[in-house]
Chains A and B, each alone.
Chain A
Amino acid sequence: MKFNGFRHLREGAKGLVRNGWMTFASISAVTVTLLLVGIFAMVMFNVNKISENVEKDVEIQVFVDREADQAKIDAVGKQLEQMPGVASVEYSSKEQELDRFKEQLGEGSEAYQSVEKDNPLHDRYVVKATSPDETETIAKSVEKMENIDSVEYGEDYVEKMFNFLDGVRVGGIILIVGLTFMAMFLISNTIKVTIFSRRREIEIMRLVGAKNGFIRAPFFIEGLLMGIFGALIPIAVVIFGYEATYGVLQPQLMSVNASIFSLIKPSELSAQIALILLGLGAFIGVWGSTTSLGRFLKI
């Protein structure tokens, strides 16, 4: 028995060319699907990373009541330092907070003018717990202390973000599943046309005793190729798009909370996402062609 791979590849490629527009539509469907999957996956990877960061986070932001005088503020600091499980406490006055804020806003803007007149900010303590396990307990008991306006820690941020992302996630999954099916359907339809246009050839192959696998292989490869070609653009867009997004977003997020909002480095994700999209494209292609083969190429 000789190796038939090249023959199957050649015949599969012929099918792609012969079906011109249908091939194009199928590949486009895979492209759109995988683009969405890619973007979605990038978001989800980072959300996971952020939840992990949260789990490791030991930082608690304590905002002091605006009515509290300096003595009360200092008292809060003392109390915080004496709490069990607290590793360190750092103080930043509302004037210091304002300076930092103004730096971010940039001089001359309208917002700058208004905060300049009337400082809306709080005095703030940054408390670090000795271990992540302590973070929540400490935050909860600080909340009950006097002269405290509010307490923020990782889980807080993330809950808000998750509420928003839950909607995105459900919508995204529905859209992706729908598009995946459409892509499979288009591919299976293209394969059906190929099978139909080659029915004479198939009839003779069967007649002279070609094996089932041999008859199917080119169609299988045609589907596979459509899936793989459909993955190329999404891979490029997602990888370069993520690099660009990372460049813009990361510095901004870092200024909000560096220990929680650190995104995954593009270099760590590129290979992974390329493999996922390629694999999924191949899967869509193979699945699409297999359903058609099952229905129209019975022995």
Chain B
Amino acid sequence: MIKMQQVSKIYPNGVTALREVNLTINQGEFVYIVGPSGAGKSTFMKMMYREEKPTSGSFLFKGLEVGKLKNRQIPELRRQIGVIFQDFKLLTSLTVYENVAFALEVVGEDKEQIRKKVMEVLDLVKLKHKARNYPNELSGGEQQRISIARAIVNRPSLVIADEPTGNLDPDTAWEIMEVFEEIHRRGTTVVMATHNRDIVNKMRHRVLAIEGGKIVRDEEKGMYGYEI
């Protein structure tokens, strides 16, 4: 699904965030990206949904050279990818239902389909009963579940999460991880950057460790590996 060859990223200010990364991620995998702060994890993820372009190298997503996509082709790419952030990025003036529906409305889905898909996905994240609430009436964990719902409502084949549990207490973090496990079980590829040692060590999946922009470790069922 994802194939990177000699991918480097140098920001305009001269910072080299990724160095000659080679990597393959298959459909249906669950991959943790770990590494110290400033290692290049977010940069790596931004390249997948084409928020950033690689400076050099080849980055294929489903056979498409992502770095060479024209601006007007980017929406097509992003409809196949769901993105989740540490800070949820919900719209405070919209209800839970509207926040999730928003993602379908703006890609031109019709009303009937929107209703059906939104209710389905709210059911998956177990927040059907909060559909009419506003985000500021929800806990952090609930807000993150809404943002996950929004990311997957369009049934993307790849879900990218950048420190999705970064703002949450350990118990809530585990609840969120259950949701990701469920998404993964349904066949969706998940790539998650995280600093959460417990989760990586207990919910075992492939681990990619990045340091100074280089992949220093790539293990199936790996461990977090950094000592405090």
List A residues at the B interface (Cβ < 8 Å): 1-2, 4, 7, 200-201, 203-212, 214-215, 299
Contact = CB atoms under 8 A, between A and B. Distances in A.
B79 A207 contact: no
Contacts of A299: 71, 74
A237 to B, nearest CB: 39
Nearest to B106: A210
Interface of B: 49, 71-72, 74-79, 83, 89, 91, 102-103, 105-110, 150-151, 154
A207 B74 contact: no
Contact of A208 (B71, B72, B78, B110): B78
Nearest to B102: A204
Contact of B79 (A4, A200, A204, A209): A209
Nearest to A299: B71
Contacts, number: 52
B197 to A, nearest CB: 28
Nearest to B151: A208
A211 B102 contact: no
Interface of A is mostly: helix
A214 B102 CA distance: 13
Contact of A206 (B78, B102, B105, B150): B78
B105 A7 contact: yes
Contacts of B76: 209
Minimum-distance CB pairs A-B, first 7? A209-B78, A209-B79, A210-B106, A208-B103, A209-B75, A299-B71, A205-B106
A214 B108 contact: yes
A208 B104 CA distance: 8
Contacts of B89: 200, 203-204, 207
A207 B108 contact: no
A298 to B, nearest CB: 9
The CB with the most chain A CB atoms within 10 A, among B49, B106, B107, is that of: B106
